[in-house]
Amino acid sequence: MKSLWIDNRFVSSSGKAIPVIDPSNEETIDEVADATCEEVGRAVASSRKAQAHWWNKVSAHERGELLHEISRRVKANASKLAETLTREGGKPLRENIDELGWVANCFDYYAELGRHQRGRVIPSIEPSQLSLVLKEPYGVVAAIAPWNYPLLLMAWKVAPALAAGNAVVIKPASQTPLSTLMMSEVFDCLPPGTVNIVTGLGSTAGDALVRHPDVAMVAFTGSLETGKSIARICADSVKKCHLELGGKDAFVVAEDADLEVAARAVAWAAFLNCGQVCTSAERIYVHHTIAQEFIEKLADFTRSLVIGPGMGPDTDVGPMIGGESRKNVEAHVADAIKRGAKLVAGGKRPSHLKKGFYYEPTILADADHRMAVMRDETFGPVCPIQTYKEFDEAVELANDSIYGLGANLYTNDAKKVKKFFERVQAGTIWINDPLTDNDAGPFGGYKATGGGRELGEEGLEEFRQSKHVHWDFEQKAKPWWYPYGKKTSVKLAQAK
Ligand code: NAD
């Protein structure tokens, strides 16, 4: 059984074994420990010591060098990391190789940003004074990641947290812990304890980590319900809590769109990682005059996609992560059809794949907001389409969601573009290029998506607290100190 990684070495755990399942064939490929509360405490104590004694004293320049080294090691180990990601998470290998490239870039980005963003001198109140704004780390950060992009969403937390001078305890999702444990070969260039890894279930190891009094900040990506419960626990001890939660991204296709390109863009945005991306296009709004042609093109293209194991050389769409997720998708499709949606493509498990959590990429026409598939997060390969007449209506529909992570628009009409990015309540607006992230651009959501921001300068700021230092070189009594009596009456007399 794979164990925990504390102080740069693997240590055994007395926690129970959790199987890791290959979603492409439902076979157990390994087991990891469900770390006990005491073991989580050991990891936190180790990180606390490392942060206070070493990491916080390492110069920003040297930290940057170490983050670049992490990036170099990610690139050197990319093939085996990508294969592990595919075996435990099901994503096509090609997508995991891309994920590793983004992981490496993220560490390089924060290596440089951390060096250059070191606080500032601000204008002082009096000439005899110096005023500084310092940027300080929180201490120990708990980085809790989901299974859909295990290493990328870990990197979006760990890279800025380290650049800011924090130590980190990582808890990967119980479905995809192996790739994170493999990152031990990457992180062992750091002083022992700077990064520790504990595996386990959310309800045990995750809960123990969030509640630990020496964890100063929780950086969490996952579902709305888990995020709410973590926020409640953090509120009890007024602990800094960073939340990146669910999404229900809208994708609007305007009447001037190049339908060939827009159809391929929608297919990719809806079916990438089998639709299990927080920014998957989950609601498509198409202008009524082009809807029929668009749906035909999209359906033809969708039927041509190759479904199979992530390791298959031609696979476009792999399996879903597990049986429960697939049941949720099946329930959404059944509810939509019951309420009047028309099944255009997919809508079932592929008959040629007997084992594995597969579901065909699915197109539903005539969808509307009464249907769960247009309201709740589906997190699977389903693309429901609703038509609109006026662009204002499309904007309103896009905003009609509790979530606000991302939103897409296909058009070259500048007026529509401006209206869309001004009015749509979402953390990222993509015009004519869905789901492209940029290390320098903040990523996060409005509304129930949580409001945290990763990436960009904002992503570094989340992991630092600001300290204002006000320093007077002269020890002189100030005129506004006690006693007030006489001075107040003098001022009032002058005012008359
Ligand atoms: P999840 O909430 O079930 O689990 C996420 C992580 O939290 C896992 O590591 C899990 O073990 C841990 N966890 C669960 N319960 C916990 C608890 N009580 N205390 C501490 N930790 C706990 O989510 P998931 O199913 O792994 O991921 C899918 C969800 O993540 C979707 O809703 C998706 O939209 C969201 N997501 C959001 C973003 C974003 O950037 N906003 C990115 C990716 C995924």
424 alpha carbon – ligand 1 mean position (Å): 25
Q: Which of 20, 225, 226, 462 to mutate to test the pocket of ligand 1 (most atoms within 8 A of CB)?
A: 226
- Buried b or exposed e, range 116-127, using 16+ CB within 10 angstroms: ebeeeeeeeeee
Please give the Cα distance from 95 to 280 (Å, whole number): 14
Query: What is residue 496's predicted lDDT score, i.e. its pLDDT?
Result: 52
Start-end of H helices in 206-290: 207-211, 224-236, 259-271
Tell me which residue has its CA closest to atom 26 in ligand 1: 146
**pLDDT tens-digit profile of 416-443?**
999 999 999 999 999 999 999 999 999 9
206 lines ligand 1 (CB under 6 A): yes
Residue 109, pLDDT above cutoff 90: yes
244 alpha carbon – ligand 1 mean position (Å): 9
Task: Collect all residues with Cβ–Cβ distance below 8 Å to 280 and sequence separation of at least 6.
Answer: 247, 249, 269, 270, 272, 273, 379
201 alpha carbon – ligand 1 mean position (Å): 11
Looking at the chain, the domain(s) classified CATH 3.40.605.10 span: 4-244+463-469
Tell me which residue has its CA closest to atom 16 in ligand 1: 202
CATH number of 249-438: 3.40.309.10
223 lines ligand 1 (CB under 6 A): yes
Residue 351, pLDDT above cutoff 80: yes
Q: Tell me the percentage of the chain whose pLDDT exceeds 90.
A: 96
> Which of 121-125, 384-388, 455-459, 483-487 has the least mean pLDDT?
483-487
245 lines ligand 1 (CB under 6 A): yes
Residue 488, pLDDT above cutoff 80: no
156 lines ligand 1 (CB under 6 A): no
321 lines ligand 1 (CB under 6 A): no
What letter represents residue 377's amino acid?
A: E
Query: What is residue 117's predicted lDDT score, i.e. its pLDDT?
Result: 74
pLDDT band at 256 (very low <50, low <70, confident <90, very high): very high
Residue 137, pLDDT above cutoff 90: yes
430 alpha carbon – ligand 1 mean position (Å): 24
**pLDDT tens-digit profile of 407-417?**
999 999 999 99
The length of the chain in residues reads: 496
* 3-class state of residue 143 by DSSP: strand
Q: Tell me the percentage of the chain whose pLDDT exceeds 70.
A: 97
Tell me which residue has its CA closest to atom 13 in ligand 1: 202
144 lines ligand 1 (CB under 6 A): yes
Q: How far is CA 54 from CA 58, 191, 194, in A?
A: 6, 7, 8
Tell me which residue has its CA closest to atom 40 in ligand 1: 244
Q: Which of 232, 278, 377, 453 to mutate to test the pocket of ligand 1 (most atoms within 8 A of CB)?
A: 278
226 alpha carbon – ligand 1 mean position (Å): 7
pLDDT band at 485 (very low <50, low <70, confident <90, very high): confident
Please give the Cα distance from 218 to 153 (Å, whole number): 14
Query: What is residue 461's predicted lDDT score, i.e. its pLDDT?
Result: 97
Q: Given the structure tokens 């089998």, which residue do they identify?
A: 274
Please give the Cα distance from 457 to 105 (Å, whole number): 15
Query: What is residue 118's predicted lDDT score, i.e. its pLDDT?
Result: 78
462 φψ region: left (φ > 0), alpha (ψ -120 to 50), beta (else) = alpha
pLDDT band at 477 (very low <50, low <70, confident <90, very high): very high
Please give the Cα distance from 363 to 447 (Å, whole number): 28
Residue 489, pLDDT above cutoff 60: no
Looking at the chain, the domain(s) classified CATH 3.40.309.10 span: 249-438
414 alpha carbon – ligand 1 mean position (Å): 37
What one-character DSSP code corresponds to residue 116? Answer: H
Query: What is residue 328's predicted lDDT score, i.e. its pLDDT?
Result: 98
74 alpha carbon – ligand 1 mean position (Å): 24
**Backbone phi, then psi, for 305, in 5-degree steps?**
-75, 145
275 lines ligand 1 (CB under 6 A): no
Please give the Cα distance from 240 to 217 (Å, whole number): 5
407 alpha carbon – ligand 1 mean position (Å): 21
452 lines ligand 1 (CB under 6 A): no
Distance of CA 373 to the CA centre of its chain: 22
Q: Which CATH class is domain 4-244+463-469?
A: alpha beta
Separation of first and last alpha carbons in the chain: 83
- The answer to whether residues 196 and 47 touch, using CB atoms and an 8 Å cutoff, is yes
**Model confidence, pTM:** 0.96
Tell me which residue has its CA closest to atom 44 in ligand 1: 278
CA atoms within 13 A on the CB side of 346: 33
Query: What is residue 495's predicted lDDT score, i.e. its pLDDT?
Result: 53
205 alpha carbon – ligand 1 mean position (Å): 14
Q: Which of 170, 180, 221 to mutate to test the pocket of ligand 1 (most atoms within 8 A of CB)?
A: 221
Query: What is residue 85's predicted lDDT score, i.e. its pLDDT?
Result: 98
**pLDDT tens-digit profile of 265-318?**
999 999 999 999 999 999 999 999 999 999 999 999 999 999 999 999 999 999
Catalytic residue ranges: 244, 278
Q: What is the residue-averaged pLDDT of the chain?
A: 96
What letter represents residue 322's amino acid?
A: G
Tell me which residue has its CA closest to atom 6 in ligand 1: 146
Can you spell out the DSSP letters for 227-241? HHHHHHHHHHTT-EE
Paired residues of 443 in beta bridges: 454
Please indicate whether residue 2 or residue 369 has the higher confidence score (pLDDT): 369
pLDDT band at 70 (very low <50, low <70, confident <90, very high): very high
197 lines ligand 1 (CB under 6 A): no
CA atoms within 13 A on the CB side of 395: 15
Query: What is residue 396's predicted lDDT score, i.e. its pLDDT?
Result: 98
Please give the Cα distance from 53 to 350 (Å, whole number): 56
Ligand 1, residue 174: give the atom nearest the CA.
Answer: 11
Please give the Cα distance from 117 to 120 (Å, whole number): 9
* 3-class state of residue 442 by DSSP: coil
Q: Given the structure tokens 């498509």, which residue do they identify?
A: 284
Query: What is residue 127's predicted lDDT score, i.e. its pLDDT?
Result: 95
Closest of 452, 370, 441 to residue 405, by C-alpha: 452
278 lines ligand 1 (CB under 6 A): yes
Ligand 1, residue 405: give the atom nearest the CA.
Answer: 41
Please give the Cα distance from 226 to 245 (Å, whole number): 9
